[in-house]
Structure 1
Amino acid sequence: MSRIATPALDTATGATAEVYAQIRKAAGSVPNTYAAIGAHGPAALKAVLAAEGVLASGSLDKQDRETIKLLVSAVAGCDYCVAAHSLLGKMTGLSQDALKHIRAGEPTGDAKRDALIRFVKLLAGTSGTIAAEEFAAIKGAGYTDAQIVDISLAIALTGFTNVFNRINDTAIDFPAVD
């Protein structure tokens, strides 16, 4: 049971109802985390969705975005986000084996993805303070400056939902992860 009371979705009015309708149109349903955020902070939810739109139209492909979000969520210990991004990662074509390795912060056998995992894991553990060699390694793996901006944005967005879901103890409405 979540800690923050979330009224039934069909009772939402005003800005909250509008943002829920936007989510339903795009995704078919409103995930519990968005329901709780939107019920008490519709402007915050709109800002998150707008930033997610920027990220989606950016320089990272879907698998890279889900790799980042899944790994950051695993490092943060956010069970809700781990479940969500495991499912979303699967929907992008990441294999169950790759997802398992990403959750563990381990190499997947794909050199470029493994460089991303190493970089994101390092960033998550150091708040972004990295050695010049680490920056050179991600660039050497083929990631551009624009992609490094998008990696930073993905980490920031995931950090918000991780923290919120940990505070709220949001009820997981995605398939459980082993």
Structure 2
Amino acid sequence: MRWMWGLLRLRRAAASPLPPFMLKGIWQEAQIAVGGGQMYCTQSAESSRPIGRYPIPYKKDLPYDIVELMEEVETKSGFLPNVFKVLSHRPAEFRAFFAYYNAIMNKETGRLSKADRELIVVATSTTNRCPYCVIAHSALHRIYSKQPTLADQVTVNWELAELGPRELAILSFALAVTHAENITDEHFKKLEVHGFDREDAWDMAMVSAFFAMSNRIAHFTDLRPNKEFYTMGRLPKEKAEKS
């Protein structure tokens, strides 16, 4: 059955309208399956260092819904972020983690844009000294904001970054949550000046709090970022595909 699954993946890849650079990961994975192995890569492509300290399960041992989500992400992104591989060690926690992630990062209501949310992750994860989240979410911020250098500035010193008053207010509040400050009415009043209400403050706080947890999971599991994150959003798409 494993070789049949691998052959099906190869056929799908061959018939896919996706560009070649996005098919590479799918093609390699399918070839491995044809050869009899179905384990996700546990090492980064550019070094011998493992992507985490816990074993990565074989695909055949994972629940179908988790494999389906992984394949969807890999197809859309062109690679599978290592956080999916590492957290698959605990399927029930995997589901809970990504369900909450989706609820706070992909919601369509409120005054925070996707770029705003990613900037919060970059700033708070920098404070929490989390390489995986800083590098991965800097890449997402570059894509959503179309600003290739702003996340880099925030990782060095957010107060000196080229941020407007609105963004400074967002990060100031989010970092107060990260630092476990006593949140007072003054914090909310500073947000109100920029048109944010208490529901928006909730959104900022939840992103900050969730990634405080995420940062610590990344530390504990020794989660390493994919090499693809480093260049995402830095070059126009046409140039990136040629490089």
TM-score range, shorter chain: 0.7 to 0.9
**1:140 alignment partner in structure 2:** 193
Look up the SS of the partner of 1:105 in the other structure.
Answer: helix
Among 118, 128, 131, the alignment partner of 2:184 is 131
How far, CA to CA, are the matches of 2:212 and 2:102 in structure 1? 17
**2:230 alignment partner in structure 1:** 175
Asked if the contact 1:32–1:172 (Cα under 8 Å) also holds between the matched residues in 2, the reply is yes
Q: CA RMSD in A?
A: 2.2
**What do the CA deviations read for 1:87-117 (whole angstroms, capped 9, x no partner)?**
0000012524421332223253311001111
How far, CA to CA, are the matches of 1:27 and 1:96 in structure 2? 19
How far, CA to CA, are the matches of 2:114 and 2:75 in structure 1? 20
How far, CA to CA, are the matches of 2:167 and 2:93 in structure 1? 31
Instruction: Report the alpha carbon displacement of residue 11 of structure 1 after superposing the two structures with TM.
Output: 4.5
Instruction: Report the alpha carbon displacement of residue 118 of structure 1 after superposing the two structures with TM.
Output: 1.3
What residue identity is the alignment partner of 1:89?
Answer: H
What residue identity is the alignment partner of 1:86?
Answer: S
**2:80 alignment partner in structure 1:** 30
Instruction: Report the alpha carbon displacement of residue 26 of structure 1 after superposing the two structures with TM.
Output: 5.1
**1:80 alignment partner in structure 2:** 132
How far, CA to CA, are the matches of 2:202 and 2:187 in structure 1? 15
How far, CA to CA, are the matches of 2:84 and 2:143 in structure 1? 20
**What do the CA deviations read for 1:57-94 (whole angstroms, capped 9, x no partner)?**
24221111101111111010000110001100000125
How far, CA to CA, are the matches of 2:143 and 2:75 in structure 1? 18
How far, CA to CA, are the matches of 1:115 and 1:94 in structure 2? 21
**1:114 alignment partner in structure 2:** 168
How far, CA to CA, are the matches of 2:55 and 2:182 in structure 1? 37
Higher relative contact order by CA 8 Å / sep ≥ 6: 1 or 2? 1
Structure 1, unpaired ranges of 5+: none
**1:153 alignment partner in structure 2:** 206
How far, CA to CA, are the matches of 1:79 and 1:68 in structure 2? 15
Structure 2, unpaired ranges of 5+: 1-49, 232-243
Higher helix share: 1
Matches within 5 A, 1:97-108: 97-103=149-155, 104-106=157-159, 107-108=161-162
Normalising to structure 1: TM-score of the pair? 0.84
Instruction: Report the alpha carbon displacement of residue 132 of structure 1 after superposing the two structures with TM.
Output: 2.6
What residue identity is the alignment partner of 1:120?
Answer: A
Asked if the contact 1:63–1:94 (Cα under 8 Å) also holds between the matched residues in 2, the reply is no
Look up the SS of the partner of 2:230 in the other structure.
Answer: coil
How far, CA to CA, are the matches of 1:164 and 1:146 in structure 2? 27
Q: CA separation of 1:62/1:79 partners in 2, compared to 1, >3 Å: closer, same or farther?
A: same
How far, CA to CA, are the matches of 2:201 and 2:78 in structure 1? 31
Larger radius of gyration: 2
**1:6 alignment partner in structure 2:** 56
Instruction: Report the alpha carbon displacement of residue 28 of structure 1 after superposing the two structures with TM.
Output: 4.2
Which is further off, 100-109 or 60-69?
Answer: 100-109
